Structure 1
Amino acid sequence: MAMENDGATQVNEQTMCMCGRIVAMRIAWTENNMGMRFLGCSYYRRPNAYNYFKCMDLPLLHPRYKSVINGLLRNANRKAVLEKEWKRIVLYHRIVLAMVVLVVVLVHYVL
């Protein structure tokens, strides 16, 4: 099981969930718990799971840091969405260009 040491939780190989799986250390990326480490079952937050959860440390981030990190994450997500949209537009234009070339070639050989 987990052992307490000067306020920080130490994990050994035997830290297990009630379902029998070894728990994993995770980092929270929610706005309220940004950067907080916790132990969670591999089935954490899935249906019919035990949802084993144990905080590893106190929240480390000042509220201002949380807002900055959340802004960076939003920008990263926005960038990923824009890149995906750009790839879709490029693919669309390539298909249109291929169709135009096909029509020009067909018209050239038919006439």
Structure 2
Amino acid sequence: IIYAGAIMVLFLFVVMLLNAPREEPAPPGILESGMTRAVGAVLALALALELAWALNRSRTLATTDAYDMPRSFSVPDIGQRLFQEYAFAFEATSILILVAMLGAITLAARHIAERSRRG
């Protein structure tokens, strides 16, 4: 959860730093085609089915008594697994986020330097 939040904040900073120009809207014919509506309907149906499955699964898990849960769901056990079994993935994700942050800063600095040269 913490890494998901960190990625969202990083994405927000990238969007703010780059100050991307607005794109032109799509031609009206593309948005009104039958294929676009069919793809949208299929995706909406898939999302509804997945949401129904997730809600059904959460009700099943909610009826389980907390004392019947295995011990591996405790915070220390999750931390131990994260830093022992999944240490490489954890560190790779950390490095990936760091590189993305440095890239965003570099691109933003280049954009600001070009803007100051023009005006």
- Name the TM-score, length of structure 2 as normaliser: 0.34
Does 1 or 2 have the higher relative contact order (CA < 8 Å, sep 6+)?
2
Could you say which structure has the larger radius of gyration? 1
Instruction: Name the one with the larger strand percent.
Output: 1
